[in-house]
Amino acid sequence: MKEFLVRVVVEPKPELLDPQGQAVERALNELGLKNVSQTRVGKCITFRLKAISASQARQRVTEIAQKFLANPVIERFCVEVEEL
Amino acid sequence: MRAAVVVFPGSNCDHDTYYVLKELVGVETDLLWYRQTQLDRYDLIVLPGGFSYGDYLRAGAIARFAPVVQALPEYIEKQRGIVLGICNGFQILTEAGLLPGALTKNLTRSHLTRSLSASGEGQGEVEGQGEVRFICKTVKLRVENNATPLTQLFRYGQIIELPIAHGEGRYVAPQDIIERLKRNRQILLTYYGENPNGSMENIAAIMNETGTVFGMMPHPERNSEKLLGTGDGLKIFQALVTSCQLSV
């Protein structure tokens, strides 16, 4: 078994209005960072996972992300797997 | 006739709901610990409001894996009784896929308009922009379908008052789901006058296709006595109990 650092990044779906992202974007503008667009605020869940391979780790994490870490009605996610 | 009010870690409207069912409606009611899975003795199961698991991850996302929620699909499948989710209970039911759609962060536009004009920038409300806020106030609701176990004691089109108290109450669903909800008359209550949280189609309460699972963001247990307002909430519990008694 190898150990992997897993990072699941969850964000609101592009077609969904994200009031958090809009509030942050307005503040970014006011603080001098211009030309910002499409700001989204999501969450990042990280953990370590023992698995036989990176592909096995990715597959298991993707399954649990679809079921639990993200709500497919309102969110999309991506999975990053890095061998330790 | 026996009702259950589920108690999750973090529920905080469980005792109010229990009180209304037991003392005001007058039915045998149990507080049911969230690890219980024996549901067959109950004709009505209420998932109450509150902050199960601190709303961590998403409201309802962790509670939906609790043993009692895992036992609900079988209870619903065999049409043993009625399930009502109030506020956090509604969030849990959508997370569990027992009701369609999702409840996400509120979108409050009036706040944005005010803050922009106060800062003297001379901007009007920007289309599609809003602010995330927890909202706690009494709202007006319109009865969109009164031929259901939840709404049968109201008139069609009646305007009722109930309090809301939520940060994630904006009802969203894919357009085909919204169309189906409308076609099947599964939308029971809509926000009237103003939409406090940005819900699609002003949706405040829905039911499943078989009319056995109900979800509502407003809190009927917080307006079930004249002392607390109009008392409209009591009619919701009385209506559900009447339906349960008829089918026993």
Taking the Cβ of residue A78 and every Cβ of chain B, the question of whether any pair is shorter than 8 Å is answered with: no
CB contact under 8 A, B132 and A74: no
Please give the pLDDT value at position B130: 62
List chain B residues with CB under 8 Å of A19.
105-108, 129-132, 198
Please give the pLDDT value at position B108: 78
Taking the Cβ of residue A9 and every Cβ of chain B, the question of whether any pair is shorter than 8 Å is answered with: no
Per-residue confidence at B115, pLDDT binned at 50, 70, 90? Answer: very low
Which of A12, A22, A68 comes nearest B130 by C-beta? A22
Average pLDDT in the B86-97 region? 98
Average pLDDT in the B40-62 region? 96
Q: How far is B152 from chain A (nearest CA, A)?
A: 31
For B56-90, the pLDDT digits (tens) are: 999 999 999 999 999 999 999 999 999 999 999 99
- Residue B124: is its pLDDT beyond 60? no
Taking the Cβ of residue A66 and every Cβ of chain B, the question of whether any pair is shorter than 8 Å is answered with: no
- Residue B120: is its pLDDT beyond 70? no
For A36-74, the pLDDT digits (tens) are: 999 999 999 999 999 999 999 999 999 999 999 999 999
Q: Which residue has the tokens 């601190």?
A: B54
Mean pLDDT value across chain B = 91
Interface test with B, best of A26, A47, A73 (most B CBs within 10 A): A73
The pTM of this model reads 0.91
List chain A residues with CB under 8 Å of B130.
17, 19, 22
The chain B residue lying nearest A24, using CA atoms, is B131
Please give the pLDDT value at position B131: 67
CA–CA distance, A30 with A45 (Å, rounded to integer): 29
Which sign does the torsion angle of CA A13, A19, B8, B235 carry? negative
CB contact under 8 A, A19 and B130: yes
Please give the pLDDT value at position B129: 55
Average pLDDT in the B92-110 region? 91
- Residue B224: is its pLDDT beyond 50? yes
Which CATH superfamily, name and number, covers A2-83?
Phosphoribosylformylglycinamidine synthase subunit PurS (3.30.1280.10)
- Residue B133: is its pLDDT beyond 90? no
- Residue A79: is its pLDDT beyond 60? yes
Can you spell out the DSSP letters for B66-110?
SHHHHTHHHHHHTT-SEEEEETHHHHHHHHTTSSSSEEE---BHH
Can you spell out the DSSP letters for B4-33?
EEEE-TTB-SHHHHHHIIIIII--EEEEEE
Which of A19, A22, A71 comes nearest B58 by C-beta? A71
Domain at B2-247: CATH code: 3.40.50.880
